[in-house]
Structure 1
Amino acid sequence: MMYGRIVGLYSSFIGLLLFTGIHGKPLLQTGNWDPLTISSPQETKLAEEYLKDCLEFRFDSGIYTVESTGTQISTCGLYLVGPLDTQVAIDFMDFNVGCEHKGLIGVLDGWEQEGYVFPPKHDVHGHHLRYETFCGIKQPKGTFLSSGNMALIQYHLPTPGNGFVVRVQFVKNPQPCNMISMFPGEPYILRNYGQRVNCSMLTINPERITLSLVNVGITPKISPAASSTNRLLPDRQAEADFRSAQVCNPYEKGDYVEIKGGSNISVNNMITFKQLCGASAGEEETFGIFCGSTLVRLVSSGVYDNVVVIETDSLDETEADQPNSRNNVCRLI
């Protein structure tokens, strides 16, 4: 089921990787190459696997080997997705990719589908390289550490015997922001930690989205040392104060949460079904989004410490035809 939902990713590899050239020029000016090697605190022995398919998806830490048979025509890719509160740490352990025949490896901090990249450039923070390409016989040094729970390794290996060995680990993210949820039923807290950032949770399938708590544009940010998610979750005594602040106009505020959907992962091309700000406690809001991709996006000005508690569930396609004002069906984009 997972592969059927995202098989359309394959067609866009060439556009993202080869059009960047073969001289190691970055595609996007964000991301993070960490010069320090990240190792597992438990020093757990990682499982080793030889990858044979051109399109691979992996959700577990491991050591992955790719070797060309010389029959590869298309650009291939290894998609890596971890738990929502993790980052992807990538180390090349062996590397032999000949530049002379346009062999190339690319590493992307994010997710790519049909030429679109998530998260979009304006929702990525920092000024490091987000996409880098490599070729030659010397392995790239250091650890590539993604900003969210997903990363992509793309490769074009036309020469027989060329290939690479990569170690992949999922490490704890101290402040998760942009993430992909691959499995329905994963509850999560989307939070800006008082920063001027946009944070999103993307699912690549139709989803039932429940916002079990919204606190957006209400609680002023405090010092990082005093910051705690618990202070943003109202108790019974505070519920009346929260409900009194529910009425707001997200178009007049710099802080809001929005529910979006589209046929692909392009945030700019998605339909906005709902925008919310203010606060609610004990009153869940549920939306059925019948789209190829579903997005919950928290937009923050940096003035407030915003938090949204999200719960997801899978949807049956037959539910789209049921009379329900909270069901939202995408048009083709």
Structure 2
Amino acid sequence: MIYIFLTFPFAVQIYIFIFIACKVLFQSTEDIYTLRNYGKRSNCRVSTLFPAAVRVASLNIGVVPSLGRGIELETGTTHKVRSQCQKRGLGDFLQVGGSRGLDNANLLADSVCGLDSKPGKHVEINACETTTIRLVSSGAFNNSATVAIRQLTPEDINGYMSVICPSEELVE
């Protein structure tokens, strides 16, 4: 929210609301999307209504500029270790996973953090009904993650799956 106060013989107050999408339902079958927290505490996410393949194209999560010079050293991507990010004193991470429905409270996911400007070689193949990419931010860092999302192909389905959600019969 931006407030603008103008000084005239009378006072005019203008409110301009700047919308920053934080919860997005992905509708196309293939695209690139950037999640960003702008230095604020938030849990932003992109969700699909189909099984998807997700590749992290660039990552800048939980990184402090070195020695206050604005220089950032690439740490690479740290996988499957939310606890490793927390061991480094970071409560900020990116989750890539899936669930059986839109309720992602029981999200089966890989968590990553670090600084990596090169596209990742690893592709998360999610065989769940929905795919969710969630940026969890404490507000202590200016985090961003760019991900490439695409619908699964027959080759993906016949290959290795990173996440497979149990069917309803198995859960009950």
Q: Tell me the TM-score normalised to structure 1 length.
A: 0.39
Q: In the alignment, which residue of structure 2 is the partner of 1:305?
A: 142
Tell me the secondary structure at the aligned position of residue 319 of structure 1: helix
Tell me the secondary structure at the aligned position of residue 189 of structure 1: strand
Partner of residue 282 from structure 1, selected from 118, 137, 142 = 118
Deviation sequence 1:93-147 (CA, Å, 0-9, x none): xxxxxxxxxxxxxxxxxxxxxxxxxxxxxxxxxxxxxxxxxxxxxxxxxxxxxxx
In structure 2, relative to structure 1, the CA distance for the partners of 1:179 and 1:250 (3 Å cut) is same
The one-letter code matched in structure 2 to 1:315 is L
In structure 2, relative to structure 1, the CA distance for the partners of 1:219 and 1:184 (3 Å cut) is farther
Percent same amino acid among aligned pairs?
Answer: 23
Superposition RMSD on alpha carbons, in Å? 2.5
Which consecutive segments of 4 or more residues in structure 1 shift more than 6 A? none
Tell me the secondary structure at the aligned position of residue 311 of structure 1: strand
Partners of 2:108 and 2:154 lie apart in 1 by 19
Q: Which has the higher strand share?
A: 2
Say if 2:163 is the partner of 1:328: yes
Alpha-carbon contact 2:85-2:113 (below 8 Å) kept: yes
Q: In the alignment, which residue of structure 1 is the partner of 2:3?
A: none
Partners of 1:317 and 1:296 lie apart in 2 by 22
Partners of 1:254 and 1:295 lie apart in 2 by 19
Partners of 2:163 and 2:24 lie apart in 1 by 22
Q: Tell me the TM-score normalised to structure 2 length.
A: 0.72
Alpha-carbon contact 1:175-1:193 (below 8 Å) kept: no
Alpha-carbon contact 1:320-1:327 (below 8 Å) kept: no
Partners of 1:191 and 1:292 lie apart in 2 by 25
Higher relative contact order (CA 8 A, sep 6+): 2
Q: Where do 5+ consecutive residues of structure 2 fail to align? A: 1-16
Tell me the CA shift for residue 311 of structure 1.
1.1
Aligned residues: 141
Partners of 1:310 and 1:319 lie apart in 2 by 18
In structure 2, relative to structure 1, the CA distance for the partners of 1:275 and 1:212 (3 Å cut) is same
The one-letter code matched in structure 2 to 1:292 is E
Q: How does 1:138-217 map to 2 (within 5 A)?
A: 174-217=19-62
Deviation sequence 1:202-232 (CA, Å, 0-9, x none): 0010111111001000147xxxxxxxxxx9x
Tell me the secondary structure at the aligned position of residue 30 of structure 2: coil
Q: In the alignment, which residue of structure 2 is the partner of 1:258?
A: 95
Alpha-carbon contact 1:208-1:289 (below 8 Å) kept: yes
The one-letter code matched in structure 1 to 2:61 is V
The one-letter code matched in structure 2 to 1:302 is G
Q: Where do 5+ consecutive residues of structure 1 fail to align? A: 1-171, 221-230, 232-237
The one-letter code matched in structure 2 to 1:331 is P
Alpha-carbon contact 1:320-1:329 (below 8 Å) kept: no
Tell me the secondary structure at the aligned position of residue 250 of structure 1: helix
